[in-house]
Structure 1
Amino acid sequence: MAGSARPSATGRDGRPSREPVTARLRAALSRARRRLRRTGVDYFRGDGADWWAFAALALVVPLLVLLNVLVPDWAPPTALVLPVLAGAMLLRPGTLVLLYAVAAGGLVTESVVHTGERVASERPEAYTHGVTPGAALVVGAVGVAGLLVAQFRRRIGVPWRGGSTMLFDLRERIRVQGRVPRLPDGWHTDTALRPAGGQSFSGDFMVAARTGPGGRVLEVVLADVSGKGMDAGSRALLLSGAFGGLLGSLPAHDFLPAANGYLLRQDWAEGFATAVHLVLDLDSGEYELLSAGHLPGMHRLAGAGHWEVKEAEGPLLGVYDGAKFEGARGTLGPGDVLMLCTDGMVEIPGRDLGEGMDRLMGEADRLVATTPVAGRSGAAVRLIDSVAKHVNDDRAVLLVWRR
């Protein structure tokens, strides 16, 4: 209520009471104790497999210590990095710390034993066995690196083998989703995608599906997420799944608006993307290209022997709501070739995109247009190798031709 004053707590002697402050301090300490207890339990909590792995590795340590005492030339003190490394791959951080304590005890035991042998030796200056500061430093450094690895595994919540398997599975799903479905006789496609720096994940991706009555329409979306390589790979991974779900579920002209709305809802700091949507009638050869800030399509007319640039209009995806996308139409006749690509195929530092497109179309003439259909398999890969092999950017190209 406005104008009301908060009553102050006073004791019997009229002085301000300390009870509220004490109560707040006691509550804060209680919360801190609960949080610390919960964190500690979570840190050292492990399942049965974790403790079995710890027990096995902990037994390896005294075995290595014994070998070091008996045959020090074959089992140096640095051999203790073996269980430490294995623990970094297998154990949770809490049980890994316990293994480190066992390994430290092993180092101390080796040091004590070899120190006694050195004192008892007739020539102490010639005694070469023992735990040197360098050996202890190596084991400690490996332990610190292993703990960082274990902390990372704990943060992402997957075991080391499961994480690698999951990434491999995701990569394969992207490839399968971007595979063009089997087409009727007379139609051929070739695709290639090469991430920047030889990495496994790319900011460029493609999704394809046959839609319409009887699957007579081929729809392909070639997209380029802002960034490159692994930086854009996570966003491309999410978008490829979303685009694959939208493709064929909506009318062709509703796909890019829906994709634009999806990107806007993600609210990414670097969340824009370009995309080109091909809608091809496999019966008549008529097609429409719908673009969201993407490079134009390139159509080679077999009869005229030259290329036409098919440029559709539309803004980038994820920039503003209510974007409109205007398509460009054409017809693929017998012998014609339609080529779509991302900017990594045509960008040349310090030069115009048009120059890069001319170079790409010229190379495509040499590799595709003058090659028999039977020899065109792998033409997309050869295009990347001849035009953009050394470009440090994600590159993708799609070729569609009609016999």
Structure 2
Amino acid sequence: MRALPAGLPQPGGAMIAAPRRWFTSDRGIAVLLALFSAGVLVGIALCPDDVPITLAFLPLVIAVLMLSSRALPWFAAYVLVVLSVASVLQESWTARTAISVVLMYVITLAVIVIARGRRGLSVARMRGESMLVDLRDRILAQGEIPVLPDQWLVQSALASAGGSAFAGDFFVATGSDRGSRIELVVVDVSGKGEGAGTRALQLSGAMGGLVGALPADRFLPAANDYLLQRAWEEGFATAVHVSVDLASGAFELRSAGHPPAVQRHAGSGRWQVLRAEGPVLGIVEDVAYDAYRGRLAPGDSLLLYTDGMVEEPRRDIELGIDEMMGAAEALLRHSWDGLADRLVGAVGSPDDDRALLLVHRRP
């Protein structure tokens, strides 16, 4: 049989796809669970001693995971009816059985109340978690390092407060000028962990579009304007932006209230703190950010990081920077492989989000 042209539905394709979509929809899942509940009632009626009444509660457990908050209250109400009928059919009662039935009634009513309070989401718990994971992956995707010439090495590492999957720190990386430059941004959104994760997602998307579309000197002012327009209650963020010429090693560094970057000079083996001043993002209108201009010679390195790497309660930030540089120097004696991950694991506060970006020009 000759295939139909591309773009036209193949024979039987819609007939196959439709049942698959039905089985995974709220209606399909609810119908299957309702049939299971009905089967439990039949089993209790025919074999009351062999089918436990608690089996009628199992569909609700599955429904909590699979159904959206829009469909879940209706199915929970159906489960209440099933439990009532099962209680009538139950012939032998013990104290344990009575307590179990009461608990099932209470939990089912609680499910109805909680689900009605979450109706604005209209997604199932498992689907909602998968959406959050997808959003997190989109944040991380903004920081994927583009392909670079062999003489350049860029590594990034991120650790969130308390080991959470979401953090307020993130990276943005992109090439510009047809691959002759690389633009790198490290951002620290106010807050930490899950509380800052949603703001980080929105801001990372905006910054990912701005950094590649604007000249280096206009990026931070544009990001500042964006944050001011959002008018978040915790609407500020710090950021450091570096634009590196991959041919010469020359770079421009700008900071918005961010901890200073540090550069390691391979010739002397010394670390230099690079001061680039500027106000935090989202506080003041019409601000300008001064640039620190330098050059990465062969063998030199540059570290960009967030305050979680160097700040601890009751300790001066300068001491934290010194500790980080000392740890980096000690780790350099082993190898460059995975240095960013090892450094994030070695220093900083586990109670705060930590992010580190390492730029190294190989000798």
TM over 0.5: yes
* One of 250, 253, 256 as aligned partner of 1:292: 256
Whole-Å separation in 2 of the counterparts to 1:319 and 1:101: 50
Q: Which of 217, 223, 237 is the equivalent residue of 1:273?
A: 237
Match in the other structure for 1:311: 275
146-155 vs 284-293, which deviates more? Answer: 146-155
Give the superposition deviation at 1:73: 6.0
Deviations 1:298-337 (A, max 9, x none): 0011111110000101001001101121111211111111
Could you say which residue in structure 1 is the equivalent of 2:162?
197
1:135 aligns with 2:94: no
RMSD between aligned residues: 2.3
Pair 1:144–1:376, CA change in 2 (3 A): farther
Query: Matched residue of 2:213: which SS?
Result: coil
Q: Distance in 1 between matches of 2:126 and 2:75?
A: 20
Please state how far the C-alpha of 1:70 moved relative to its aligned partner: 5.1
TM-score by length of 1: 0.78
The residue aligned with 1:35 is none
2:340 corresponding residue in structure 1:
380
Aligned residue in 1 for 2:188: 224
Amino acid at match of 1:251: P
Q: What CA distance in whole angstroms lies between the structure 1 residues aligned with 2:346 and 2:181? A: 32
* C-alpha contact 1:61 1:102 (8 A) present in aligned 2: no
Tell me how far apart the structure 2 counterparts of residues 284 and 222 of structure 1 sit (CA, whole Å): 23
State the SS of the aligned residue for 2:209: helix
Give the Cα separation in 2 of the matches to 1:381 and 1:141.
48
Cα distance between partner residues in 1 of 2:70 and 2:267 = 72
Alignment of 1:71-90 (within 5 A): 75-90=51-66
Q: Which segments of 5 or more consecutive residues in structure 2 lack a partner in the other structure?
A: 1-21
Unaligned runs of 5+ in 1: 1-46, 119-126
Alpha-carbon distance in structure 2 between the residues aligned to 1:168 and 1:141: 32
Matched residue type, 2:197: G
Map 1:139-288 to 2 at 5 A.
139-148=104-113, 150-151=115-116, 154-212=119-177, 214-288=178-252
Q: CA deviation at 1:55?
A: 3.0
1:393 and 2:352 correspond: yes
| Aligned partner of residue 376 in structure 1, secondary structure | coil
For the residues of structure 2 that align with 1:253 and 1:94, how far apart are their CA atoms? 48
Change (3 A) 1:303 1:74: farther
CA deviation after TM superposition for structure 1 residue 189, in Å: 1.2
Aligned partners of 2:266 and 2:300 also within 8 Å: yes
Select between 245-254 and 94-103 the one with higher mean Cα deviation.
94-103
The answer to whether the 8 A contact 1:85-1:142 is kept is no
- Whether the 8 Å CA contact 1:85–1:143 is kept in 2: the answer is no
Identify the structure with bigger relative contact order (alpha carbons < 8 Å, sequence gap 6+): 2
Following the alignment from structure 1 to structure 2, what is the Cα–Cα distance between the partners of residues 164 and 239? 21
1:339–1:296 distance in 2 versus 1, CA, 3 Å: same
**2:289 matched to 1:325?**
yes
Identity of aligned residues (%): 45
Give the secondary-structure state (helix, strand or coil) at the position aligned to 1:247.
Answer: helix
AA partner of residue 364 (structure 1)? A
Secondary structure in structure 1 of the residue aligned to 2:120: helix
- Number of aligned residues: 340
Q: Aligned pair in 2 of structure 1 residues 53, 265: CA closer, same or farther (>3 Å)?
A: same
Distance 1:186 1:386 in 2: 27
User: How far apart are the structure 2 equivalents of 1:192 and 1:382?
Assistant: 9
Query: Relative to total residues, which structure has the larger helix share, 1 or 2?
Result: 1
Measure, in 2, the Cα distance between the counterparts of 1:401 and 1:155: 48
Summarize the Cα distance change of 1:398–1:75 in structure 2 as closer, same or farther, 3 Å threshold: same
Q: Which has the larger radius of gyration?
A: 1
1:60 aligned to which of 19, 23, 36: 36
